Amino acid sequence: MTADVMDQATGAGKEPAAERIREMRERINEIDQAIIDLWLERASLSQEVGKTRMASGGTRLVLAREREIVERFRAALGPDGTQVALLLLRSGRGPL
Ligand SMILES: O=C(O)C(=O)C[C@]1(C(=O)O)C=C[C@@H](O)C=C1
């Protein structure tokens, strides 16, 4: 890449920046995959907890526990954390 040609894939204007961006994107991809794997594992566990509880005659949901989880995410991530927690809970127990 010459200094005045933008690299299409990375959007960078110079090769050293393009190379650094490619490296950082590799790590971003690894992190995204870890998040996906953990998301799916959590959803599966959450479904299992729900089945176990209902089979014992208990409730489908435990709202106090959901509030605790939403609060943990809000405290760590702010208002977006609330949205993440709500999506996370929905992916395990389904929509309310
Ligand atoms: O911790 C539980 O008791 C669960 O059932 C798991 C979970 C969750 O996904 O975190 C799902 C539904 C409940 O209402 C509360 C929490």
Q: Which atom of ligand 1 is nearest to the CA of 42?
A: 9
Over 90: is that where the pLDDT of 56 sits?
A: yes
User: pLDDT tier at 6 (50, 70, 90 boundaries)?
Assistant: confident
Give dist(CA 9, CA 22) in Å, integer.
Answer: 9
In whole numbers, what is the pLDDT of the chain averaged over residues? 94
User: pLDDT tier at 9 (50, 70, 90 boundaries)?
Assistant: very high
User: pLDDT tier at 2 (50, 70, 90 boundaries)?
Assistant: low
10 Å CB burial of residue 59 (0-12, 13-18, 19+) is exposed
* Most ligand 1 atoms within 8 A of CB, residue of 41, 60, 65, 69 to mutate: 65
**Residue 70 CB less than 6 A away from ligand 1:** no
pTM: predicted TM-score of the whole model, two decimal places: 0.90
Spatial CB neighbours of 45, under 8 Å, sequence gap ≥ 6: 92
**Residue 62 CB less than 6 A away from ligand 1:** yes
pLDDT in tens, 13-42: 999 999 999 999 999 999 999 999 999 999
Distances (CA, A) of 36 to 15, 17, 18, 30, 51: 31, 28, 26, 10, 23
